[in-house]
Each structure stands twice: as C-alpha cells, then as structure tokens.
Amino acid sequence: MNKPVMPVSSYQLKLPKADRSIETYRLAASRTFPQKLEGTLNRVAFSAAHVVADPLADVDPWLNAAVDWDRTIAFREHIWDLGLGVAEAMDTAQRGMGLDWPTSLELIQRSVRAAKARGGALVFSGAGTDHLAVEDARTIDDVIRAYEEQIAAVEKAGGRIILMASRALAKLGRSADDYAKVYNRVLSQVREPVIIHWLGDMFDPALANYWGTKSLDTAMDIAVGIINGNASKVDGVKVSLLDKQREIDMRRRLDPKVKMYTGDDFNYAELIAGDDKGFSHALLGIFDAIAPAASYALSRLSAGDQAGFHDVLGPTVPLSRHIFKAPTRFYKTGIVFMAYLNGHQDHFTMVGGQESTRSTLHLAELFRLADQAGLLSNPELATRRIKAVLSLRGIEA
C-alpha cells in the first residue's frame, strides 16, 4: 500500500486574521491520498453527501433549488470509488434547509440508479416528514402518514432508508408513548432494516426536546427502548449530539444486532477506533470533505495499523470542529467550500444561497486547517480558488 507522499509546498497567499490584519500564509507540505480504496474496511462508513448547485439556473436561490445533477452524481461516484457509502438526501444535502422533498426524492432516485449501475454501491436515503409543514401537523397520526409516504417513495425507488428525525413529531410528541407509537408503527412496515437518525438541536433547532423530553438522559432511555424493541427492523442508529460519552454509553446499551454509526463530527476518530468494549461505525458529514483521507485511514485501521489510522485522521479533527462550530447548522457551507477548493465543482454557490452563512474569517481559517491536515488535493488550484473568493470580499492577492 502506498504511503501518502509529503511534497514541499511553495504556494502562499494573503489571509485575514481575527485582529483585522492580513498575513502572508505559506502552505504546509501537503499529503496525497489514494483516490480509490486500497485494501479493505472493517467499519461501515457513510459520507453524508452534499448537492452541487447549478449556478447558471434562472432561479431565486432563497425560493427554489437548482441542482447540477451531473456534478452531484459525479461526487457520489467519487465517494463510492473510495469504498465509502453515500448517505443520501440528509441534512448535509441541505434537506429541509434549501432542498425540499420533491427535489430530495429526485436526488434519491438518481443516486439509487447510479449505485445500481455500479453493481450495488452502498447508499441509504433519508425518509422523513418534511413535506408536512410543521404548522399543518395536527396529530401524531399525521406524522405517521407523512413518514409512510416518504418511506413508500424511497422503497419504490429501490432504496434503503435512513429514518430522519421529524420536526412535526418534535412539535407534537409530548411523551415516550407518542414517540413509541410513531416509531413502532413505521418500523413495523419497512421492507429492510433502517438506520435511525437522532439529530440534535445544535444541527436543527426545530428538533429541540426530541423523544419528548428536555433531559438527554431520559431521551436516551426512550430511544434505546424503542430501538432495542425493534432490533430486527433497525440496521443501526446514527447519533448526532456532538457528545462523545453519550454515544459510548448508548453504544454499550444497544442490542448486539444494532450498529452504532457515529455522527459526532468533533470526536469521530476515537469513536471509530473504539475501545475494548466496542466501536462505532461512521455516518458523517465531514467524510464528504475529507473522503480520500477517511478512506485511507480506515484502510489502515482494517490492516491493524492503529498508528497509521490516527496519523491520517487525527489531524482532520480540528478542521471538522471548525466546520461544525456553532451555529452548527451552517456547517454545510464549509463542506461545499472544501468541494470547491478540491475541484469537485467549479463554483462556490449553494442551494438556498447558503454560501453566505459563514464569515470571511471562517473560510480563511478553514483553508489553514485543511492545508495543515494535508487535505488540499491540488494546492495550486485551492490557492487560486480561495484567492478568487477573498477578492470578492475585499482582500486582494
């Protein structure tokens, strides 16, 4: 297996600092990771993938989503080449934050077809209740029907399901019984085991008090009870609480047949590595931005090279913590900026105009951290592209 190459960089540019000064930043030595999986993986690893906007569509971005389907599917091919699965139409794809259900369904259909054309590449797709406006949800039965509609649509497309958290259920659910009624009913009908996604309110404020309580301890009890009670219908659970110990505690309480998929974009390296009592698989938005490094690190872990795993994945964690810093829901901007820097799209334009949600300082620090982790696949291109963005924000090269 090839060891990542560490050439010396001669690129430099001007970057803003927090004190409003401008520094001349010289890029660090970069690393080159394989663009296809080398070896095998002993963890199931999904990248929650972003969508590539169509910058030339004549739409108002705040009102309508315009997707560049060719580039969007090409990015999924990139993920699959690296041995990772695609978690489709999730919050990383701006689901419910620029991407509506009809467009999400088209994305799911296209992605499932592309996966089948590769002989069955791994893809699970989000099914939720986002076509039901929260203000129109009157009863728990309304929530159940909304879930059933989306599940039926995904299954008709031939897809596997990630059962997304529901804003409508967060509004109406008052007790453990309400949540049990919804999940027991929905899970009883699915064709194949699903991944349940517990998305914290730091990612989506409308999901506060999910599982019917303000107490995370009580919420954990309710979630574990429902999941273990339906273990034959649950492939795994993805926890996005950015709380390492809660994930470990939950992991140890799950039925042995149920996988834990880390959604902790702050602590994923150590959670995936695990301990003597178990480990987490991965379903992460940050794997969109760091896919080649993630693939290589996971292959080293599978080969028994723990030091190699941490050597590659450890330096990516500061970047991830920066991209997912509060307000965490704006992390998609950093994900797409990385795709732009690394040549997966030719523009820094996002569905919903979300490219405007992070500051110039945030993007500059993202560039530094990505560079220091060896994640800029083509330093010359990345330098040229960030210069173009900074020039629009008043910083000349």
* The pLDDT of residue 29: 80
pLDDT at 8 over 50: no
* The pLDDT of residue 2: 52
pLDDT at 1 over 70: no
Nearest 5°: the CA angle 82, 73, 44 is: 35
* The pLDDT of residue 33: 96
* Cβ atoms of residues 285 and 331 within 8 Å: yes
Determine the residue type at 277.
Answer: K
Ordered domains of the chain (ranges, CATH)? 33-358 (3.20.20.70)
- Share above pLDDT 90 across residues of the chain, in percent, rounded to a whole number: 96
Please give the average per-residue pLDDT across 198-211, as a whole number.
Answer: 95
Model confidence pLDDT, tens digit, residues 145-160? 999 999 999 999 999 9
Determine the residue type at 107.
Answer: L
What value does the mean pLDDT of the chain take?
96
Chain centre to alpha carbon of residue 268: 12
* The pLDDT of residue 12: 95
SS3 per-residue string spanning the chain: CCCCECCCCCCEEEEECCCCCEEEEECCCCCECCCCCCCCCCCCEEEECCCCECCCCCCCCCCCCCECHHHHHHHHHHHHHCCCEEEECCHHHCECCCECHHHHHHHHHHHHHHHHHCCCCCEEEEECCCCCCHHHCCCHHHHHHHHHHHHHHHHHCCCEEEECCCHHHHHHCCCHHHHHHHHHHHHCCCCCCEEEEEECCCCCHHHCCCCCCCCHHHHHHHHHHHHHHCHHHEEEEEEECCCHHHHHHHHHHCCCCCEEEECCCCCHHHHHHCECCECCEEEECHHHHCHHHHHHHHHHHHCCCHHHHHHHHHHHHHHHHHHCCCCHHHHHHHHHHHHHHCCCCCCCCCHHHHHHCCCHHHHHHHHHHHHHCCCCCCHHHHHHHHHHHHHHCCCCC
* The pLDDT of residue 4: 52
* The pLDDT of residue 9: 56
* The pLDDT of residue 345: 98
pLDDT at 180 over 90: yes
Q: Which class for 158: exposed (0-12), middle (13-18), buried (19 or more C-beta within 10 A)?
A: middle
Model confidence pLDDT, tens digit, residues 333-373? 999 999 999 999 999 999 999 999 999 999 999 999 999 99
* pTM for this prediction: 0.94
Bridge partners (DSSP) of residue 53 are: 67
Please give the average per-residue pLDDT across 67-77, as a whole number.
Answer: 98
Model confidence pLDDT, tens digit, residues 284-334? 999 999 999 999 999 999 999 999 999 999 999 999 999 999 999 999 999
d(CA 136, CA 237): 28
d(CA 261, CA 238): 5
Q: For residue 30, what pLDDT band results from cuts at 50, 70 and 90?
A: confident
Q: Please choose, from the candidates 300, 378, 285, the residue with its C-alpha nearest in 3D space to the C-alpha of residue 37.
A: 300
* Cβ atoms of residues 124 and 163 within 8 Å: no
pLDDT at 3 over 80: no
The neighbour count for residue 248, using CB atoms within 10 Å, is: 22
Model confidence pLDDT, tens digit, residues 86-116? 999 999 999 989 999 999 999 999 999 999 9
| Residue 167 φ then ψ, to 5° | -65, -35
Determine the residue type at 10.
Answer: S
